[in-house]
Amino acid sequence: MNFPENLRYTTDHEWVLVSGDIATVGVTDFAQRELGDIVFVEIESAGKTLNQHEIFGTVEAVKTVSDLFMPLSGDVIEVNKGLDTNPESINSDPYGAGWMVKIKMSNPAEYDSLLSSEAYASAVGV
């Protein structure tokens, strides 16, 4: 399984890439494998301000529906519209084309509470 070292992770299986005060968020390789074939993504949080751990959307796979949790507090400034027509990109490229939202962080210190790739791998038993 792939857990890039330049990302941080949550125990809810989201990844975060920070550039300045903008964070890109998606679900991990582990999560997409556990979910199976992803068929639909619903993210209606564009333009909203959310706190860390609040639900920002859902992902539907053939066998389940799962909530998506905000890893950092902030304003949702962009949603990956490509997921509307190509949700399977989460399965094929979870750290690239499968990104979900971009947020403008309101509390960058929360980033320090996220897991390193090594800690996340240990948490999921890999």
Q: What secondary structure does DSSP assign to 52-95, as a single string?
A: TT-EEEEEEESS-EEEEE-SS-EEEEEE-THHHH-TTHHHH-TT
Are 120 and 3 in contact by the 8 Å Cβ rule? The answer is yes
Confidence at residue 104, expressed as pLDDT on a 0 to 100 scale: 98
Taking the chain, what is the end-to-end CA distance rounded to the nearest angstrom?
8
Model-level pTM? 0.94
Domains and CATH numbers, the chain: 8-106 (2.40.50.100)
CA distance 47 to 40: 21
CA distance 120 to 62: 25
Q: Sorting pLDDT into bands at 50, 70 and 90, what band is 126?
A: confident
Percent of all residues in the chain with a pLDDT value above 90, rounded to a whole number:
94
Q: What is the mean pLDDT of the chain?
A: 95
pLDDT band for position 1 (50/70/90)?
confident
- pLDDT tens-digit profile of 4-19? 999 999 999 999 999 9
Q: Summarize pLDDT for 41-70 with one digit per residue, the tens.
A: 999 999 999 999 999 999 999 889 999 999
Q: Is the pLDDT of residue 115 over 90?
A: yes
Take residue 92 and report the two structure tokens written for it: 């094929």
**DSSP-based three-state secondary structure for 74:** strand
